[in-house]
Amino acid sequence: MSKQTELSHTLTELIRDTKEGKIRWNLEVQTTEANDPAEKPVEQENGVDWIVDECYVSYYCKHKGKEFCMITYELIKNSGEKTATSNMVFLPPLGVRFFDLHVLLPHSVETSAVLLDQIHQLWVLLLEQYKVDRSSLYLDVRPGTLRIED
């Protein structure tokens, strides 16, 4: 079974068990989205200026006696008229929880629209639970710094 298929099955179980209140999650988010726009990198493509942001999310829980860790990365480009995103998913060993693409790349999982939708469903579910009961999960959101290398 591929990593992608295995992760999809795991996410289905995690979403179900989270809805049933069987899982306590730890989420860590590092994002540049709330940073001062003047400090954000700008890329020019085909005459269009894109303001670039990134967002990492680390999902961690214990499920059926095993530890689960997944890190997602989203590169967000906004031109004012359009938004374009690129997504990556990683299943790093438990000791590797760095928000650094170079460290995470060896642990990447091929994505699909279905897999990204499942991750989005989990994200929305967790945020909804957090709004209702802040003790339902641990959530740490902090600003990030993005530097684009040539």
Tens digits of residue pLDDT in 28-42: 999 999 999 888 999
- pLDDT for the residue 150: 54
Q: What is the CA radius of gyration of the chain?
A: 16
pTM of the full structure: 0.91
83-117 pLDDT, tens digit each:
999 999 999 998 887 788 889 999 999 999 999 99
Segment 125-147 mean pLDDT: 89
Domain ranges in the chain? 3-143
Of 16 and 37, the structure prediction assigns the larger pLDDT to 16
DSSP sequence for the chain: --HHHHHHHHHHHHHHHHHTT---EEEEEEESTTS-GGGS-EEEETTEEEEEEEEEEEEEEEETTEEEEEEEEEEEEE-SS-EEEEEEEE---TT-----HHHHGGGEE---HHHHHHHHHHHHHHHHHHHH-GGGEEEEEEE-------
- pLDDT for the residue 77: 95
CA distances from 106 to 65, 76, 109, 110 (A): 26, 22, 9, 11
- Output phi, psi for 26, to 5 deg: -115, 120
- pLDDT for the residue 148: 65
Segment 67-92 mean pLDDT: 95
- pLDDT for the residue 103: 92
CA distances from 138 to 1, 23, 27, 108, 123 (A): 32, 12, 6, 25, 13
Q: Whole-angstrom Cα distance, residue 70 to residue 17?
A: 17
